[in-house]
Amino acid sequence: MIDQKRVLVTGGAGFIGSHLCRRLIDEGNDVLCVDNLYTGRKSNLFGLLNNVNFEFLRHDITFPLFIEVDEIYNLACPASPIHYQNDPVQTTKVNVHGSINMLGLAKRVKAKIFQASTSEVYGDPTVHPQPENYAGNVNCIGRRSCYDEGKRCAETLFFDYHRQHDLNIKVARIFNTYGPNMHPNDGRVVSNFIIQALLEKPITIFGDGSQTRSFCYIDDLIEAITRLMATSDDVTGPINIGNPDEFQIIELAEKVIELTGSRSELVFKNLPEDDPKQRRPDIALAGQTLKWQPQVKIEEGLKKTIEYFEVLLSHL
């Protein structure tokens, strides 16, 4: 294929990365998936490993990578508090050193590069919903700061490379995303609730459950990411990507119990340090720039995610 793009996806064996790899392969691209498998899993790449246009490389991007590509999607980083707090120094390294290495690669080969940033750059927000021009309320020395501040520093690096080296960058701030291929032990609220419900175990709620989150289904997220990469060079972001439908955590737990038919009871524990009380994206910019709106409602997305975990648990 003459116009086939060579695309690098770091963190490509992870939850979001594996879905992105599939989308890019379906579009006819040549895809190199790079992952050190700290949280990513080869099982997420089922059906891709034998595709002639797909290649997997086990590699840690805190070390340089010397390849030739046309586009880079930088998704490498543990995204759940359990995993990123388990090795906070490495979490900071992958955000800072990893970004520097990927930006250096993009500069050398003149590739367009995407950064998967996060709603965590807003910290525990005092503005609701959160627009892109909100500077955030982040504790720079807390247990979550290796991820929060790491992602903020990564954004700084991306925009400095853009200004100093005229690099073509795209930055998306991803809000809570869920769907098949989530890690079963990532400690995130959707996967936690579903697994606890399917196993008929008590569903753990931190705090009183009144804190809110907005949940975006993975297919909607991938559509937004690929649209952002296809925009003109003057569109850099950051752009919020998420679903603005807001739910209390206790409402989510009750919905999961209803959809699984579980007899699980709710148990309440203390709220972790710096856990945001509200999280909802302002996606007006995504609507204007990408002509994008999330399509999958929470009940439909939860049903698909529950089906995935039912199959996963049946093989354990």
| Mean pLDDT in consecutive groups of 10 residues from the start of the chain, 316 residues | 86 98 98 97 95 98 97 95 92 98 98 97 92 94 95 98 98 97 91 96 93 94 98 96 94 97 94 77 97 97 98 87
Question: Catalytic pick from 38, 122, 147, 161?
Answer: 147
Give the CATH number of domain 6-179+217-242+280-295: 3.40.50.720
147 is catalytic: yes
Nearest partner of 252 among 209, 309, 282, 307, judged by Cα = 209
What pLDDT, on the 0 to 100 scale, is given for residue 186?
Answer: 86
Q: What is the pLDDT at residue 276?
A: 73
Q: What is the pLDDT of residue 2?
A: 55
